Amino acid sequence: MSPSRYLTAAFYKFVDLPDYAERKPALLAFCESRQVKGLILLAREGINSTIAGAPDDVHAVLAYLRADPRLADLQHKESFADKAPFYRMKVRLKKEIVTMQVDGISPTHMAGTYVKPEDWNALISDPDVVVVDTRNDYEVEIGTFAGALNPHIKSFSALPAWVQQAEPLRPRAGRKPKVAMFCTGGIRCEKSTAYMRAQGYEEVYHLEGGILKYLENIAPENSLWRGECFVFDERVSVGHGLVPGHHGLCRACRQPLEDGATDSPLYEAGVSCPRCHAHTSAAQKNSARERQRQWELAKMRQQVHIGAVLPKPVAD
């Protein structure tokens, strides 16, 4: 395969899959037969994935999935890379394809109203609309929409607790406010808007296609986006036109490096950064040092090192 011909496809769909566990062996075997690598999450509530490989092979996997009538309208996002983004293929069974840890939330039946990127600016510029960034704090840190609320959460499962105590979301004159929510690719805001509707919020909206679709479609001069968008792959962050940004990645915690992080005494390539240094033990750091050493040796020998941490699906 020639360089720059690795196609990455990110996709998700909330759909009832009662047979999700039975689907795993055949799906994994098909991906491996096409030499496609990456990660597919399967749950009763649907599918969430990022895969990569030769374009024909990736499209073959997508066609295989869409042969199931329940996934016939599965949509995906594409990007190309000059090196293999993933080194293994994994199909994992999960309770949820995006973890909220709240029972009874079904985006299939009760997600909020989709808003196209071209209509998003008008919605979030309305002073009566509360705009909520549903992503983790390290993602919000490098970019968000002007005027959006930052819940300062460490994981998506912490969002419901924040909603319950957030002052801007409390009823006004006996009526709950309009809410607009957004995330990277759409999956978290579909589930969060379903949660909001379950809590009695009647007017709930979310950005169709997420931040990535907005950055792809909206010109910088017309944009209300500020900064860059963190992505769960080797690009680390992107800007308008989905052009790769300037942020580096800590290989230990898989989070973007803060400005000046590499100058900190707490930074060690592949081992720690100022954000995660205090949260790993000496044994974990030593293990990371060995992994980094093996990665550097493989790079020097122009070999593939398969011990790398498999990234989360780009569709978040």
Residue 222 forms part of a structural domain: yes
Please give the C-alpha separations between residue 261 and each of 31, 140, 232, 264, in angstroms, as whole numbers.
Answer: 38, 17, 19, 5
Residue 87 forms part of a structural domain: yes
- CA quadruple 298, 304, 310, 316: dihedral positive or negative? positive
Question: Catalytic residue at 183?
Answer: yes
Question: In this structure, are 111 and 44 located in the same domain?
Answer: no
Residue 167 forms part of a structural domain: yes
pLDDT of residue 301: 76
- For the stretch 252-299, pLDDT in tens is 888 888 888 888 999 998 899 998 999 889 998 888 898 888 878 877
Question: In this structure, are 205 and 133 located in the same domain?
Answer: yes
Query: DSSP label at 27?
Result: H
Question: In this structure, are 198 and 221 located in the same domain?
Answer: yes
Question: In this structure, are 32 and 70 located in the same domain?
Answer: yes
Question: In this structure, are 159 and 212 located in the same domain?
Answer: yes
261: how many CB neighbours lie within 10 A of its CB? Answer: 16
Residue 26 forms part of a structural domain: yes
Residue 118 forms part of a structural domain: yes
User: Which of 63, 93, 123 is the C-terminal boundary of a domain?
Assistant: 93
Please give the C-alpha separations between residue 8 and each of 93, 114, 195, 245, in angstroms, as whole numbers.
Answer: 21, 25, 30, 18
- For the stretch 13-72, pLDDT in tens is 999 999 999 999 999 999 999 999 999 999 999 999 999 999 999 999 999 999 999 999
Please tell me the total count of domains within the chain.
3
Residue 305 forms part of a structural domain: no
- For the stretch 227-239, pLDDT in tens is 999 988 777 888 9
Question: Could you tell me the two tokens for 129?
Answer: 């609309």
- Residue 22 CB contacts under 8 Å (≥ 6 apart), including other chains: none
One of 183, 189, 229, 273 is an active-site residue; which one? Answer: 183
Question: In this structure, are 173 and 270 located in the same domain?
Answer: no
Question: In this structure, are 191 and 285 located in the same domain?
Answer: no
Question: In this structure, are 71 and 111 located in the same domain?
Answer: no
Range of the domain at 290: 248-300
Question: In this structure, are 88 and 123 located in the same domain?
Answer: no
Question: In this structure, are 209 and 111 located in the same domain?
Answer: yes
Question: In this structure, are 86 and 64 located in the same domain?
Answer: yes
Query: DSSP label at 234?
Result: T
- For the stretch 94-141, pLDDT in tens is 999 999 999 989 898 889 999 999 999 999 999 999 999 999 999 999
Question: In this structure, are 114 and 64 located in the same domain?
Answer: no
